Amino acid sequence: MKLKQALKAGAGWLYLHTPVPHRLHAEGVILMLHRVIADDRAAALPHRNELCLGSAAFERLLRWLRRNFDCVPLMELLDPHAAPGDRLRVALTFDDGWRDNATQAFPLLQRYQMPASIFLSTDFIGSQRSFWWESIGETLWGTFGPTARDALCARLLEAGAEVPAAIFGKHDHYRRSLVLAQYLQHLKQLPAGLLQALADQCPDSTEPQALDWQQVRQLEDSGLVRFGPHGASHAILTGLDHAQLERELHDSSRLLRQRCRRPLPVYCYPNGDHDEQVRRQLAQHHYYRHALSTRPGLFRGRGDNLALPRIGVSQHTAQRPELLAWRMLSSGSQ
């Protein structure tokens, strides 16, 4: 471990083991995750690291959380009347509704009796639609072979988003993956419809990428998992007009109320993006008392309930949880 990381890990360890009541006056921590996949080495590559945890790293994270925190459902963490315990509370949230939330993450959540909330992009649930960043990213990585990759590169060039040549290197996998991660971030500037159309032309995965409604019901029946909306199409809400935004808010909310017994009264902004118009229209849907952003920070039980902070968990921090504690310390001191 590099010196800088070692220092952060040490500071994180001290943060957890210093007897300061409600460390830095926080009510708790909302952790943000996305996927859990079987292969930890695959999850560690830069273009997957932020969204994917390997199953071994995820299990290590769960053990660490149980040792150091009170692991509670999201609504208990947000309840202003809940009695505080002796330890900082933590709640797990998963964005998008990936199928591996059921196949990889849920068995470990059951093993450790860890509650979680999953926020669904409802257009994808029970469908063959693919998340654009997964389909485009894996096609460019070469997962589906050179023919599919070259065809996608040609379509991206036509869209004015030429693919960096460094992605096609043969030897330095880490460097290739890093360039791909940066390129995928750049693609977010393209229209959402174009990105989804490009993804729809990529080869199909061996199975759907998203959960289906039967899996949603099975997870909900366990008593460990509750579901909330993450938009309908995962469009970035700040780029929509009034009618488009209303469709994203209304359709995702309506479908969750139809399909789930106890949908969460919490909205999760796709990509974390929101502005005054988004928050004003969301507030008109009186069911939603809270909304989750991607802004890093601790939950303090005060401030804007429609812009709650979360701390993201990557493969890197799941493998070295003391670095996650450092992120909590850094957020708590702001």
- pLDDT tens-place string over residues 185-200: 999 888 888 999 999 9
Q: How confident is the model at residue 326 (pLDDT cuts 50, 70, 90)?
A: confident
In-domain check, residue 81: yes
Instruction: Tell me which of 5-14, 183-192, 224-233 is least confident.
Output: 5-14
- The encoded tokens of residue 281 equal 């229209």
Q: How far is CA 106 from CA 37, 112, 213, 333, in A?
A: 12, 10, 15, 33
The pLDDT of residue 257 is above 50: yes
Q: What is the pLDDT of residue 10?
A: 55
Residues 33 and 170 in one domain: no
Structural domain includes residue 116: yes
Give how many domains the chain has, as a whole number: 2
Distances (CA, A) of 54 to 37, 98, 313: 5, 14, 12
Mean pLDDT, rounded, for 270-298: 94
Specify whether 100 is located in the same domain as 238. Answer: yes
Residues 146 and 114 in one domain: no
Please check whether residues 216 and 276 belong to one and the same domain: yes
**Residues 233 and 293 placed together within one structural domain of the fold:** yes
Model confidence pLDDT, tens digit, residues 88-120: 899 999 999 999 999 999 999 999 999 999 999
The residue from 200, 220, 240 where one domain ends is 200
Asked if residue 215 and residue 85 are part of one domain, the reply reads yes
- Residue 324 in any domain: the answer is no
Domain assignment of residue 185, given as a range:
132-200
In a domain, 14, yes or no: no
pLDDT at site 110: 98
Cα distances (Å, whole numbers) of residue 192 to 61, 94, 128, 132: 33, 21, 18, 9
In a domain, 2, yes or no: no
Q: Which of 200, 231, 253 is the last residue of a domain?
A: 200
Question: Which of 145, 179, 200 represents a domain boundary (last residue)?
Answer: 200
Same-domain pairing of 34 and 183 = no
| Same domain? 186 vs 302 | no
Mean pLDDT of 259-275: 96
Q: Is the dihedral of CA 317, 321, 322, 326 positive or negative?
A: positive
For residues 260 and 120, membership in a common domain is answered with yes
In a domain, 314, yes or no: yes
Same domain, 141 and 48: no
Q: What is the CA radius of gyration of the chain?
A: 20
Going by pLDDT thresholds of 50, 70 and 90, the confidence category of residue 8 is low
pLDDT-based confidence at residue 333 (cuts at 50, 70, 90): very low
Tell me, yes or no, whether 18 lies in a domain.
no
Q: What pLDDT score does 18 carry? A: 56
- Note whether residue 86 is domain-resident: yes
Q: Please state, in angstroms and rounded to a whole number, the distance separating the CA atoms of residues 53 and 49.
A: 7
119 and 136 assigned to the same domain: no
Q: Are residues 294 and 220 in the same domain?
A: yes
Question: 37: domain CATH number?
Answer: 3.20.20.370
- A 10 A CB-CB count for 194 gives 15
